[in-house]
Structure 1
Amino acid sequence: MGGNDGKTIIPVGHNIKPPDKQDLIYSADSPDFCQANRKTGSPGTRGRVCNSTAMDVGGCDLLCCGRGYREETVVVEESCLCRFHWCCVVNCNKCTVRKELSMCL
């Protein structure tokens, strides 16, 4: 909320810290990025890969917007044992790797 002097910003709520000069302040509410929205161009978070052990923005609890997630094992082919040859050539083998993924519901 704007202060009476027109220069200061006062947090609305007791659990919000006052902003300092390094903080980015938004004057409009952010759209809901949890659900797909063509108007904003947001694909939503359904089907997104998340980190089931992280507590930050990449963690499943936050990224999946409380909808939960599923564990899935996938087999992918990726480059491995890459070697650089002078000059300017990199040769790699293809390796099959089994990965455990967490995906938002």
Structure 2
Amino acid sequence: MQLVKTIGEAGVDVVRILTDAHQAGVGVDQAVAAVTAAAAKTPALARRRSRRGEKALEGQVTATSEGNRGGRPKAIDDDMLTFAIALQNKGAPVPEIFDRSADAP
């Protein structure tokens, strides 16, 4: 409900858009898309969205400077890779490499 209030304060007539969509037989998804498109054109919401992006970027920069980096941890570390390559070089079939690599230290 907060978003609808904010959009209304920005000058978007949400009720009119939804009423028009309903009378035209448009589905909910399309009606919401119409409201979102109208809201995107308002300066107040554009500034808010821009500021949100700036804050996210600031957080990423701060995390990186503190040594934190995003993403998932590596599924295969360097030791597991070295072990798998050694097995491959010995001629082990792929299923065996997979099974034995999962048990590698």
Identify the TM-score tier after normalising by the shorter chain: under 0.3
- Higher-strand-fraction structure: 1
Larger radius of gyration: 2
Using CA pairs under 8 Å that are at least 6 residues apart, name the structure with larger relative contact order, 1 or 2: 1
Q: TM-score, normalised by structure 1?
A: 0.20
- Higher-helix-fraction structure: 2
